[in-house]
């Protein structure tokens, strides 16, 4: 038994025939070769697989592809501006040394984009609470929080 699925990924229409039990993360990585979305825990605990679903951060390891029929998915590969420069959140992570090994970085950036675009967080504690559910074993989060604080006014300015 298979399922015909249609959705948009990083602005492009995608159609595929898949097994009904295909996870979104599996489809992104194995069918579309968008390997920036990482698989860390397979239990929605670490956040490495975070993508944007209709603009909101979700953990793609616990979403069936059938649940995203006719919806919009944005992966880390899809946030790059047309000129090839870094997204403001990526630039801030780089400038603030908000990454070390890089494994959690794509999911952390996608969660941070959602946080900045949908919530008026500004304090260290509010950002830490907003990024809860994204685990980093290397940085201690201090520089990640600094990166979000640095990118927020740039992103909010671009949003208006």
- What CATH number does the domain containing 116 carry? 1.10.150.120
Are both 93 and 33 inside the same structural domain? Answer: no
CA angle 54, 58, 16 (to 5 degrees): 65
Contact 123, 152 (CB under 8 A): no
Residue-level pLDDT at 5: 96
The pLDDT value given to residue 19: 96
Average pLDDT over residues 54-70: 97
Percentage of residues of the chain with pLDDT beyond 90: 83
Burial class (CB in 10 A: 0-12, 13-18, 19+), 2: exposed
pLDDT per position as a tens digit, 67-115: 999 999 999 999 999 999 999 999 999 999 999 898 999 999 999 999 9
Residue 43: pLDDT band by 50, 70, 90 thresholds?
confident
Q: Percent of the chain scored above 70 by pLDDT?
A: 98
Among the candidates 50, 79, 108, a domain finishes at 79
> Closest Cα partner for 40 from 32, 48, 31?
48
Per the structure, the count of domains in the chain is 2
Where in the sequence is the domain holding 111, given as residue range(s)? Answer: 88-159
Better pLDDT: 57 or 136:
57
| Residue 121: per-residue pLDDT | 64
Q: Do 25 and 74 sit in the same domain of this protein?
A: yes
- Please give the Cα distance from 37 to 10 (Å, whole number): 13
Could you say which of 20, 54, 79 is where a domain stops? 79
Q: Name the residue with higher pLDDT: 106 or 121.
A: 106
Query: What pLDDT score does 4 carry?
Result: 97
Q: What is the 3-state secondary structure (H, E, C) of the chain?
A: CCEEEEEEECCEEEEEEECCCCEHHHHHHHHCCCCCCCCCCCCCCCCCCEEEECCEEEEHHHCEHHHHCCCEEECHHHHCCCCCCCCHHHHHHHHCCCCCCCCCHHHHHHHHHHHHHHCCCCCHHHHHHHCCCCCCCCCCCHHHHHHHHHHHHHHHHHHC
Same domain, 52 and 96: no
Residue 159 has a pLDDT of: 59
The pLDDT of 131-145, averaged and rounded, is: 91
Query: What is the CATH number for 75?
Result: 3.10.20.30
């Amino acid at each position: 038994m298979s399922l015909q699925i249609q959705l948009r990924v990083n602005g492009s229409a995608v159609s595929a025939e898949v097994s009904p039990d295909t996870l979104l993360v599996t489809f992104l990585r194995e069918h579309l070769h968008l390997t920036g979305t990482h698989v860390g825990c397979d239990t929605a605990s670490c956040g490495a697989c975070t993508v944007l679903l209709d603009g909101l951060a979700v953990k793609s390891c616990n979403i069936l592809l059938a649940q995203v029929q006719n919806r919009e998915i944005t992966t880390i590969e899809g946030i790059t501006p047309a000129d090839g420069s870094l997204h403001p959140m990526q630039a801030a992570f780089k400038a603030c040394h908000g990454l070390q090994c890089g494994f959690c970085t794509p999911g952390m950036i996608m969660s941070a984009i959602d946080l900045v675009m949908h919530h008026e967080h500004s304090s260290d504690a509010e950002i830490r609470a907003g990024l809860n559910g994204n685990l980093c074993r290397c940085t201690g989060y201090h520089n990640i929080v600094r990166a979000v604080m640095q990118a927020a006014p740039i992103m909010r300015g671009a949003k208006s």
